[in-house]
Structure 1
Amino acid sequence: MTPQEPPFSALRRWLPLALIVTGAVAGFVLFRDRLSFDTLAQNRETLLAFAAAHPVVTPALFMAAYLLIVAFSLPGATWATLTGGFLFGLFPGVFYNVTGATLGALALFLAVRQGFGRGLRARIDASDGRVRRLSDGIRANEVPMLLSMRLIPVVPFFVANLIPALLDVSARRFAWTTFVGILPGALVYTWIGAGLGAVFERGERPDLSVIFEPYVLGPILGLAALSLLPVLINRKRRP
């Protein structure tokens, strides 16, 4: 808290981030061993019965649970995506998965931006050197950079939520690029989840390495490269 900042203002600025951190710690302690394939396998009949009995409430509860998993950065987002496919099929399962993940990412983004982003951005703008040039480069190509961070699997989802928040990116731009950027990968995992019924009957585990198969990873990387094309064009146009 700076001397110029009233106590109530400081509390309002840091409270969302404090709630996120508290929820993350509590969730990790309580659910770190429960958000897994084994949990889904053991409760699959109960989940299917609940979804059949409550067709309207179940999608809302599922998206809310997915939101919390992402907002608190809990382990288990992959299994949540598979569950979405298992319960709702490829469509509308992929919509529920992407919506829940996007809302959770947005909640984390807003909490971090409110606590750190704007103050950090002001310090970066007042600075000089490599950090300022890197920040200016990202801001000049926000949409391509945001999309590529989502499309390229090597960028952790948590990191892709933090970087835009620290640079005070527009919330609207962050939300739609997240939704669009995670859609291809979510489509693959939702598709795997939609076929889990047969996997359960055989007593097997799903093969998640399919995301790294050339016929799957290739198009995703192609989309990532396409999203970065405006960055390359802008660089060539510079004198």
Structure 2
Amino acid sequence: MQTTGAAGHEPGTGTGRAGLVKRLLPLAAILAGIALVFAFDLDRWLSFDALAANRQALTAFVEANHLLAALCFIGAYALVAALSIPGAIFLTLGGGFLFGTWAGAAYSVTGATLGATAIFLAARTALSDLLRAKAGPWLHRLEAGFRDGAFSYLLFLRLVPAFPFWLVNLVPAFLGVKPGTFVLATFIGIIPGSLVYASVGNGLGSVFEAGGTPDLSIIFRAEILLPILGLAVLALIPVAAKRLRARKS
């Protein structure tokens, strides 16, 4: 005779299926958002040309409604980061142009951190358990090593501009990193790059007048990149020190 649960559901259905749907819903919403963005070509607004074409209207809106404009900017940046849409760098440029270097960088960092946290939590909820079950012992070893110095590793990955932002959002989710660690390392780690591009954006007025384009490779100049890489190396010192103590013991 087949037994049923207290609510009359067969084992493996009902609550289990509803729980699976609930877990997958945030990720499904993000995937649907990505599909809509590319279906309606909304990513075209994330470009230097779009910023140049709408700069007067945007500037007027910021001057008339600074707080609302800042909130809209942070929300837009969070959405772009959560959907992993290419072109967030132009939002940072726009933030510097519209709000100034420091405020533009602060708003960009806030929006990027919120968006990154959203996709991190969605992936962590929907896929991490499945990936662990399928990946085998190698993922568990990697997870253990990452957890030993999660903040340092994440800070390093955020500071080095060679690592894609969307990838660094997902990998920690699969390796069991705590949300608090993820948020703090993300917030701190993206500050230097955001300040660089916001400062470029702050000078866009003269670029627009000259009909030119900003130098987006500025972050790879030695005088800028080397200090950032130095910070990245410093971020790994706690991990190196911990491993050295472990070997000695």
Could you tell me the TM-score, scaled by structure 2's length? 0.90
- 1:133 Cα deviation from its structure 2 partner: 2.0
Q: CA RMSD in A?
A: 1.6
Equivalent in 71, 78, 81 of residue 60 of structure 1:
71
- Could you report, residue by residue, the CA deviation over 1:178-219 in whole angstroms, capped at 9, with x for unpaired residues? 000000000100000011011101110001111001110001
Give the partner amino acid of 2:164: P
State yes or no: 1:176 paired with 2:184. yes
Equivalent in 195, 202, 227 of residue 219 of structure 1:
227
Q: Which has the higher contact order (CA 8 A, sep 6+)?
A: 1
Q: 2:141 is matched with which residue?
A: 133
State yes or no: 1:37 paired with 2:48. yes
- Could you report, residue by residue, the CA deviation over 1:45-81 in whole angstroms, capped at 9, with x for unpaired residues? 0000011111110000010000110100112101010
Q: 2:34 is matched with which residue?
A: 24
Q: 1:187 is matched with which residue?
A: 195
Q: 1: distance between equivalents of 2:213 and 2:39?
A: 25
- Could you report, residue by residue, the CA deviation over 1:142-197 in whole angstroms, capped at 9, with x for unpaired residues? 11101011011111000000001111211111111100000000010000001101
Q: How many equivalent pairs are there?
A: 235
Q: 2:105 is matched with which residue?
A: 94
Higher mean displacement: 228-237 or 201-210: 228-237
Confirm or deny: 8 A CA contact 1:152 1:220 kept in the other structure.
Answer: yes
Equivalent in 21, 24, 39 of residue 11 of structure 1:
21
Q: 2: distance between equivalents of 1:9 and 1:134?
A: 28
Q: 2: distance between equivalents of 1:208 and 1:13?
A: 39
Q: 2: distance between equivalents of 1:198 and 1:22?
A: 39
Give the partner amino acid of 2:34: A
Q: 5+ unaligned residues in a row in structure 1: which ranges?
A: none
Q: Percent identity?
A: 46
Confirm or deny: 8 A CA contact 1:146 1:178 kept in the other structure.
Answer: yes
Secondary structure at the counterpart of residue 56 of structure 1: helix
Q: 1: distance between equivalents of 2:156 and 2:224?
A: 16
- 1:235 Cα deviation from its structure 2 partner: 1.8
Q: 5+ unaligned residues in a row in structure 2: which ranges?
A: 1-10
Q: 2: distance between equivalents of 1:119 and 1:172?
A: 22
Q: 1: distance between equivalents of 2:123 and 2:99?
A: 32
- 1:123 Cα deviation from its structure 2 partner: 6.4
Confirm or deny: 8 A CA contact 1:118 1:168 kept in the other structure.
Answer: no
Structure 1 residue ranges, 4+ long, deviating more than 4 angstroms after superposition: 121-124
